[in-house]
Amino acid sequence: MAMKLVVAIVQNEDADELIEALTAAHYGATRLASTGGFLRQGNTTIIVGVEEAAVQSVLNIITQHSHSRRQPVTNPFPDPAITATTTPTRKNANPLEAVIAQATGAASPEVQTGRATVFVLNLDRYERV
């Protein structure tokens, strides 16, 4: 039976419940601390090695235990030079935030995240030694 590696990037708020559900269903899971490239905020990457036949079941559990949320875009491209030379107030801490706010027309720009970003990879080998 072919083995697959399911890699799921979820929000930190969902990680505990998701790991619990995967473990309760007897799937081995490993949780890695990660950081989103766009928001530059912490998120959680969960890897699960399973037989191909179990992939859909794992995807169902991920779907059930992850949630889409609105997240503020606060400091996607921090510039240490700017941070060091300006007073770190909400108004001027991140010039890009103002640009995004203007472009979107929102005073506090936000993005709607997905529930989870999931990749399913072929595994050449899976061994417990």
- Smallest gap from residue 14 Cβ to ligand 2BA (A): 11
Q: Which stretches of the chain are DSSP H helices?
A: 12-24, 55-64, 80-85, 95-104
When binding is defined by CB under 6 A, the residue of 6, 9, 29, 46 that contacts ligand 2BA is 9
51 or 79: CB nearest ligand 2BA: 79
- Contact window for ligand 2BA (CB under 6 A) among 32-40, 50-58, 98-106, 120-128: 32-40
**Distance between first and last Cα of the chain:** 19
Q: Is 30 exposed, middle or buried (0-12, 13-18, 19+ CB in 10 A)?
A: exposed
The residue of the chain with the least Cβ separation from ligand 2BA equals: 36
**Judged by CB under 6 A, does residue 44 bind ligand 2BA?**
no
